[in-house]
Structure 1
Amino acid sequence: MAPTPRRPRIYFSFRSPYSWLAFHDLTAHHPQVVESLEWRPFWEPDAPSEHLLAEAGGRFPYTPMSREKHLYMLGDVRRLAARRGLTVTWPQDVDPWWEASHLAYLVAAAEGRGLAFAERVYRARWQEGLDISDRATIGRLAADVGVSADAAEHAADDDGIRAEGTRALLDIHRDDVFGVPFFIHRRQKFWGVDRLTDFLTILGEPTGQPRPGAPAESAPSVAAAAFGAHSSDHGHAGGCG
C-alpha cells in the first residue's frame, strides 16, 4: 500500500510577529486552506526539552539576532500590521519560556481546539500585551476557547506532552526549519510571511485580495525591542521575528 501523502505543513511560533501576521492572513482570507494544513509549533526549547531533543538525535538552530535587526523589525512589523488594519501592542519579554504556550498548544490540538487556542494566544501576545510565558495566563486563555485550563497550564509537567513536544522539535530538525513562518509542500519550502503567496500558489489557491490602506509610520522605541534571548532567524525580517 502506498504511503499517505503528507499534508502541506506550516511551522508557526507564538514568539514571532511575522508568524502572527501569516496566521491572520490565512485565517482571514484563506479559511479553506487553514483546515487543509498540518500546523506544527516551533519554539526555542528550554533545558529539559533541549536535553530530550539531543537524546533523540536532534538539535535546534540558535542564531542570536542583532539589536539593529530587532529595531528594524519593530518598524517593519508596525507597517505590515497597519496595512492589515491591525494595531500591535509590543510584548515585554523579561524572561520568556516558550514551553508554556507551545506545549499548551499540543494540549489544545489534542482536544480539537488547536487553531482557536492559537488565535487566542496570538491576540493575547501581540494585541493585548499579555505574558504568554505565565502558566496562569495560559490557563485562562485555554479556558477562553474551551480547552482544559488545568491541562494547558500544566502541560510542561506532563511527561506525555513533553514527549510529544520532543517529537515536534525533531520535526523541526528533520524538515530543516530555521525560522517562521515556514511552509512546506512536497519538496518545496518557503520561509517568511512574504512567501505566503508563493506557497498558496503551489497549492492552487487564488491569492488576489484587496490591499488595505497605506501603513502608518512611527518610530519604534528602543525599550520595546525585547523579543527574547534567542532567535533562529538567519536572514530577512519577513521570517522569524
Structure 2
Amino acid sequence: MKRPVLYFSFRSPYSWLTIHRLRQAVPDAADALDWLPYWDPDERTDLSLKERQAEFHYQPMSRAKHLYLLMDTKRIAQSLGLSMAWPIDVDCWWERPHLAYLAARRQGRAMEFYDAAITARWGRGDDISTTDVLARVAAEAGMDPQIALGAVDDDDIRAESVDCLVRAYEDDVFGIPYLKWGRHRFWGYDRLAAFLAAWRGPDLAPADVPVLPAYDRDTAGGCG
C-alpha cells in the first residue's frame, strides 16, 4: 500500500501530543510518513477549494467542548511529562504558520520548523500567526524569516496548500490528528496504538502507546 499519511495542525493540542508519542514510537516518523498540514482556510483558500469542488469538513466546537479539551490535554501533557502553556490567541491567520511549514519543507527544514513552531505555541503559549513570533520560529528553524513570512503571498505555495486541503477533503478528514494508511483511518490521540498495530503489526506496536478511554463520545482525542 501507499505510505501512511499524517494530517497535523499547529492549532490542535491533540495533534502535538499524538505526534510527540508517534515520534517516540517511530523514530523515523519524519521520513516514514507523509506529513500534510491542515488548518482553517482563509477566504482566498476557501475560494480555491470551492473551485476544486472541495470543502472543509471540520466544524467549530462548542464552548463546553473547548473547556473539556483544555482540561483533557493538560492531563495528557502532564502524564507525558510535558509542560504546556495554553495559547491566548484570537482570530489567528492559520495560513501563515502552515504555509510557512510548506516553505520550510522546500528548504529541507520541515521538522526544524515544526519543532520550533510547537515549542512557541505549546511551550511558550505564543501566537504563531503573528509576524514577530513566526519570524523567530523561522530563525530557530534555520530558515530565512522573510521566506516564512512571505509564504502566504507565494502563488506556488498557495497552490500546494490547496492541494493539501483538497487531499484532506478526499480522505474525509474532519478533525486532527488524522492518520491514514490504505483503507485504514484513525482519528485522535487515543487511536495511535491502533494505527501502529495496523501499519507495523500488533507485535511491532509499542506497548507503552496508550489507548485512553474517551469521555466524550463525539471526540477521540482530536480537534480541528
User: Normalized against structure 1, the TM-score is what?
Assistant: 0.85
> How much does 1:136 deviate?
3.0
**Count of residue correspondences:** 215
CA distance in structure 1 between the aligned counterparts of 2:20 and 2:29, rounded to whole angstroms: 13
What's the CA shift for 1:111? Answer: 1.1
Whether 1:78 aligns to 2:77 is no
3-state SS in 2 of match to 1:31: coil
Partner of residue 150 from structure 1, selected from 143, 146, 158: 146
Distance across 2 between alignment mates of 1:88 and 1:237: 20
Alignment of 1:7-86 (within 5 A): 7-86=3-82
Partner residue in 1 for 2:178: 182
Identity %: 46
Tell whether 2:224 aligns with 1:238.
no
Give, in angstroms, the shift of residue 168 of structure 1.
Answer: 0.8
Change (3 A) 1:237 1:194: closer
1:202-213 equivalent positions in 2, closer than 5 A: 202-204=198-200, 205-209=204-208
Cα deviation for residue 210 of structure 1 reads: 8.4
CA deviation vs aligned residue, 1:62-83 (integer Å, no higher than 9, x gap): 4221111111111101110000
Amino acid aligned to 1:175: D
Shift of 1:172: 0.9
Deviation at 1:237, TM superposition (A): 5.3
Contact 1:6 1:186 in 2 (8 A): yes
- Report which structure shows greater RCO (CA 8 Å, sep ≥6): 1
* Distance in 2 of aligned mates of 1:8 and 1:62: 21
CA distance in 2, matches of 1:237, 1:77: 12
Over 3 Å counting, the alpha-carbon distance change for 1:18 and 1:186 in structure 2 is same
**Runs of at least 5 residues in structure 2 that lack an aligned partner in the other structure:** 211-216
Distance 2:195 2:30 in 1: 13
Q: Which moved more, 1:93-102 or 1:25-34?
A: 25-34
Note the C-alpha offset of 1:35: 2.1
Pairwise CA RMSD: 1.7
- Selected match of 2:92 from 92, 96, 99: 96
State the TM-score, normalized to the length of structure 2: 0.91
Q: Tell me what 1:125 maps to.
A: 121
Q: Is the 8 A contact 2:6 2:36 kept in 1?
A: yes
Q: Quick check: 1:136–1:153 contact (8 Å CA) kept in 2?
A: no
CA 1:191–1:201: 2 relative to 1, 3 Å: same
Counterpart residue identity of residue 162, structure 2:
T
Give the whole-Å Cα distance in 2 for the aligned partners of 1:73 and 1:62: 16
The offset of 1:28, in angstroms, is: 2.8
Higher mean alpha-carbon deviation, 132-141 vs 105-114, is at 132-141
Q: 1:200 to 1:237 in 2, by over 3 A?
A: closer
Counterpart of 1:218 in structure 2 is: none
User: After TM superposition, what 4+ stretches of structure 1 lie above 4 angstroms from structure 2?
Assistant: none
For the residues of structure 2 that align with 1:62 and 1:30, how far apart are their CA atoms? 28
Corresponding residue number in structure 2 for 1:169: 165
Describe the SS at the equivalent of 1:40.
strand
Please report how far the alpha carbon of residue 149 of structure 1 lies from its aligned counterpart in structure 2 after TM superposition: 1.4
Per-residue CA deviations over 1:45-103 (Å, capped at 9, x if unaligned) read 00111011111221112422111111111110111000000121010112211001000
In the alignment, the residues of structure 2 paired with residue 24 and residue 119 of structure 1 have an alpha-carbon distance, to the nearest angstrom, of 10
- Structure 2: how far apart are the matches of 1:28 and 1:128? 22
The amino acid across from 2:84 in the alignment is V
Which residue type is aligned with residue 47 of structure 1?
Answer: E
How far the C-alpha of 1:143 sits from its partner, in A, is 1.4
- Provide structure 1 residue ranges, at least 5 long, that are not aligned to the other structure: 212-233
